[in-house]
Every structure is written in structure tokens, then in C-alpha cells.
Amino acid sequence: MSPIGRSENMRRIKSKDTTPELVVRSVTHSLGYRFRLHRADLPGKPDLVFPGRKAVIFVHGCFWHQHPSVACSDSRLPKTRVEYWLPKLARNQARDKQNIAALRKLGWRIMVVWDCETAKRETLTRRLKEFLGATAKG
């Protein structure tokens, strides 16, 4: 991909309302859970916040947050401009760790859903139910 094409591609990537986030929101809502979005008063502005359950969910892009799974091909580093990307992605990971530590210190439970994990709806549904517990629906 040309540098101009790569730049245009990166420019189009959003931080809110991404496709993986919308998938998680849709599955969560269909299970009967209700949540708040992107609460700015919490460290890291979690994507989904369940105040009554004292739980938050972050939906991380595999590339931007460097998914540690060996099976995830989306998290590989770019081959060009490594001097730019390595520090940038390392800062993202460090910020994630700080935000999670701060939330835990405040008594919140945290779940991270990776972009690549949203493709397997059955597995995602099971994980969400296990993390969030019983709903009013049953």
C-alpha cells in the first residue's frame, strides 16, 4: 500500500462506534443488559459501563492495542516507519494498563473484548454472560 493510501486508511479509523464495538453493544443489549457509553468520568472512558454491576467493557482494536494473542494476525507491526509505530503502540498499551489499574483501584471489574473476538458470536455471548452475570430476562 502506498504511503498516501495508508495515511488515508488510518485517518478513517474511529475511536467510538466502531464495528466491533457495535457488535458487542448489540449482543449485550439483546441479552437484556443495559449500559452507558464512554463515561468520561472513568479512567480510559470505557466503551460500555454497567454502573449497577460495577463493571466495564473495553472493545480494543487488535492493531491499535496490540492484541497479545499469537493467533491474531491483525496485531502484527507495520514494516514501514517502525520508529514511529513502536513508540505509539507502546504508549497505547501503557495507557491501557494504567486505566485498568485505576479502574480496579476504584473497585470496577474489567473485561476486554478484542476486535478479532467479535467474529465468534457464540463465544462472545458466553463470555459476556459469564462476566456480567444474571439479567432481569433470566
| pLDDT per position as a tens digit, 69-125 | 988 888 888 888 889 889 999 999 999 999 999 999 999 999 999 999 999 999 999
pTM of the model: 0.86
> In this structure, is residue 41 part of a structural domain?
yes
In a domain, 99, yes or no: yes
The cell for 129 is 454472560
Q: Which has the higher per-residue pLDDT, 8 or 28?
A: 28
CA distance 124 to 24: 8
Is 61 part of a structural domain of the chain? yes
> How many domains are contained in the chain?
1
Evaluate whether residue 24 is within a structural domain: yes
**44 in Cβ contact with 95 (< 8 Å):** yes
**Does 47 reside within a domain?**
yes
What letter does residue 49 receive in the DSSP assignment? E
Q: How many CA atoms lie within 13 A of 62 on its CB side?
A: 19
Torsion sign across C-alpha atoms 18, 19, 20, 22: positive
Q: What is the pLDDT of residue 75?
A: 83
In-domain check, residue 136: no
Nearest to 39 by CA among 99, 97, 89: 99
Domain extent at residue 35: 3-130
> How far, in Å, CA of 57 to CA of 136, rounded?
20
| Whether 21 contacts 114, CB under 8 Å | no
**pLDDT higher than threshold 70 for residue 12:** no
Distance between CA atoms of 48 and 46, rounded to whole angstroms? 6
> In angstroms, rounded to a whole number, what is the distance separating the alpha carbons of residues 31 and 84?
41
Report the chain's mean pLDDT, rounded to a whole number.
90
Reported confidence tier of residue 35, pLDDT bands at 50, 70, 90:
very high
CATH number at residue 96: 3.40.960.10
Contact by Cβ (8 Å): 126, 29: no
